[in-house]
Amino acid sequence: MPQTETWWKESVIYQIYPRSFNDSNDDGIGDVNGIREKLDYLKNLGVDVLWISPIYRSPNADNGYDISDYQAIMDEFGTMEDFDQLLEESHQKGIKIVMDLVVNHTSDEHRWFIESKKSKENPYHDYYIWKDGEKNQPPNNWGSAFSGSAWKYNEELGQWYLHLFAEKQPDLNWENEKVRQSVYDMMTWWFEKGIDGFRMDVISLISKDQDFKDGETFSGLYGNSMEFCCNGPRIHEFLKEMNDKVLSKYDVVTVGEAPGVTIEEAKKYTGKDENELNMVFQFEMMGIDHGKYGKWTPVPFRLKDMKANFEKWQKGLDGSGWNSLYWDNHDQPRIVSRWGNDTGQWREKSAKMLALCLHMHQGTPYIYQGEEIGMTNVRFASIDDYQDIEILNAYQELVKEKKVLTEEQFMEGVYKLSRDNARTPMQWSAEKNSGFSNGDPWLNVNPNYAEINVANQINDPDSVFSFYKQLIELRHHNKVMVYGNYEQYLKEDENVYVFTREYEEKKLLVLCNFSDRNQEIQLPSFLVEEEYTVLISNDNDTSKCLTENMVLLPYEGVAFIK
Ligand code: GLC
Ligand code: CA
């Protein structure tokens, strides 16, 4: 099917986690003015859009994903004037700003919730999901994503409220028309200010099956709510309404974070004629190395699983939806440590190979701060060095209370897959605290900052940074990278990933070696055509020729074009 060409398909989006990006006033916490200071850096990298994780007022139970006022800036991050200035300066530089829309839940300190728990008659009571019941007997067996039951009892009301995440993140009741209208009004307020889009937090969860039945208990602790909450009964109705009332009025970009999304669902969320969202973040791929207790019990990475998942989504949405492409974000570990190799000689090589691999797919690529310099996972000595509520709650539950994992087992999971791996401060230079702040950072800096930092890389043509810059530039000039359709080859190979992309008269052939050894491959002869030349390679060998029998060096990544 022919592609519709659009600016947000041709863009590269850079995610900022403000708390860890750049601290302008040395209180150890990144802030809005810190982002402003780095706009030239981002312009130099060449990204088109910034997605900024939540900067709204928040008591920070979940670092801003628990919002107490959607129309104010968190004190630690600055003021609304700072934000207005950031928006203006970004626009002057031709960079768009996407905000995070967190409307599956609010903070329990949001005015709506404070009203809601005053009485059953309060006009805001139905803004949240309350169920009558006895103490000790939650309405169902659902577990929270941050451990424990998903229900919390309120003595005065004799009712339970639902929180799919932390206790301090009560779920909004989207069945209530007033909730929806309040959200649409707030979104409109931001668009009128001039922002360029929203990344929508766990948007696939906003419509709950109203029977609230028990879920399956996979690991024997709590029931899984996802079957009843992901892509729920009214989700598409709600998003069509949101599109009709708000999104359709502006030329903006939208990406839905969508746990539980399938290809069939993704077509509904992102299909051009569906009038819902532009694209979604899928989670299937990020789950391929999760075990019995999810990320706390990692299982080995198998390249074949990753390749199969790429193929499924690349073909599944081609012409009928749109993919977002990501390795990293504030919820995922660092990709070079996860599926590359962060040890000595292979770190830069594998970081570049992974970058090349991702950016050669169809979809809109996302770069998470620090990914562009190959930042790695961190191993803090003690659980006390960690800050993430997800880690700390899981530790209490799995290690201390239920004792299903030992401390050592749990820490292995933390080192491999936990979220704080991505949240250590951005490594700007070899100076104190990696140049992030002169104050004590809210989360420790990764000790490898003297070696891995922006200052080291920015003027080095062979750096990971320069490689990302080159990939972004290439995407801006080669529509085949954006729109080309996808075919995979050598699917059974456990070390090498081979695929092609084709658009109009152009064709790409991409070869990536995911191992630390030479790999000999045999390409189908029809693929090997003389006109191919190297478009980009992490081996600096632009004279490389495409042949039927080829040897790929460890972590080599190369894209040919004709
Ligand atoms: C999303 C966010 C994550 C947050 C959760 C609850 O998954 O990306 O950081 O903890 O939603 O808001
Ligand atoms: Ca600060």
Residues carrying an active site annotation:
201, 257
Round the average pLDDT of the chain to a whole number and report it: 97
Listed residue (320, 353, 322) closest to 336, CA to CA: 353
Nearest CA to ligand 1 atom 5: 65
pLDDT tens-digit readout, 344-372? 999 999 999 999 999 999 999 999 999 99
Q: How far is the CA of 27 from the centre of ligand 2 (A)?
A: 5
pLDDT of residue 2: 67
The whole-angstrom separation of Cα 91 and Cα 63 is 27
pTM for the model stands at: 0.98
The whole-angstrom separation of Cα 168 and Cα 110 is 10
Nearest CA to ligand 1 atom 2: 201
Tell me the pLDDT band of 1, cut-offs 50, 70 and 90.
low
Q: How far is the CA of 64 from the centre of ligand 1 (A)?
A: 9
Q: Closest ligand 1 atom to the C-alpha of 165?
A: 6
Pocket test for ligand 1, best of 19, 65, 328 (most atoms within 8 A of CB): 65
- Tell me 144's DSSP state: P
Q: Closest ligand 1 atom to the C-alpha of 105?
A: 12
2-11, 253-262, 548-557: lowest mean pLDDT where?
2-11
Mean pLDDT of the region 552-560: 98
Ligand lying nearest the CA atom of residue 166: 1
Pocket test for ligand 1, best of 204, 331, 332, 419 (most atoms within 8 A of CB): 331
Nearest CA to ligand 1 atom 12: 65
The one-letter amino acid code at 75 reads D
pLDDT of residue 453: 98
Beta carbon of 265 within 6 Å of any ligand 1 atom: no
List Cβ neighbours of 520 (8 Å cut-off, separation of 6 or more): 549, 550, 551, 552
Token pair 């728990």 is found at 117
Beta carbon of 368 within 6 Å of any ligand 1 atom: no
Ligand lying nearest the CA atom of residue 420: 1
Ligand lying nearest the CA atom of residue 441: 2
**Whether the predicted pLDDT of 522 surpasses 90:** yes
Beta carbon of 31 within 6 Å of any ligand 1 atom: no
pLDDT tens-digit readout, 24-51? 999 999 999 999 999 999 999 999 999 9
Contact 179, 238 (CB under 8 A): no
pLDDT tens-digit readout, 270-284? 999 999 999 999 999
Number of other residues whose CB lies within 10 A of the CB of residue 545: 12
Q: Closest ligand 1 atom to the C-alpha of 65?
A: 12
The whole-angstrom separation of Cα 430 and Cα 448 is 9
The whole-angstrom separation of Cα 381 and Cα 411 is 9
Structure tokens at 72: 């104010």
The whole-angstrom separation of Cα 502 and Cα 542 is 21
Task: Give the DSSP H or E segment for 151.
Answer: strand 151-154
The one-letter amino acid code at 442 reads W
Mean pLDDT of the region 429-446: 98
pLDDT tens-digit readout, 132-156? 999 999 999 999 999 999 999 999 9
Phi–psi pair at 68, nearest 5 degrees: -105, -15
Structure tokens at 178: 């007033």
Q: Closest ligand 1 atom to the C-alpha of 66?
A: 12
The whole-angstrom separation of Cα 431 and Cα 348 is 21
Beta carbon of 326 within 6 Å of any ligand 1 atom: no
